Structure 1
Amino acid sequence: MKALEWIEERLCHPGCLRLYCGGLAVQAYGGTRPLNDIDLFVPAAHFAPLVDDLHHYIRKPARR
């Protein structure tokens, strides 16, 4: 869950809803699925600002 804490510390966008899915969500519910990446969905209005803020940490293209 360190990954979730790390992301939340960097998301400085008040009111931005977000949805975690994939391996991170499975781990949050107690699963043991390996975590290879983090799948995060945000509203379109917050997409560009978040990508701008986190672009140094994004390894694959962020898609809308």
Structure 2
Amino acid sequence: MTILYLLIPITLVMGAVGLGAFFWSLRSSQYDDLAGDAERILHDDGDTPLVPNKEIPR
């Protein structure tokens, strides 16, 4: 029973830290453009093709 006096405050502090991190991410606009990030990986506008290696004659 005495362990609860230790575990309950630790749990409440960890929950408060997690909630604070979530609210910080909301204030810093982390969730503004979810669709853009999901679609950006599908476009390869900035990619350049690789130059094929020339074969070394034997």
TM-score normalised to structure 1 length: 0.22
**Higher strand proportion (structure 1 or 2):** 1
Between structure 1 and structure 2, the one with the greater Rg is 2
Higher helix content, 1 or 2: 2
Q: Which has the higher contact order (CA 8 A, sep 6+)?
A: 1
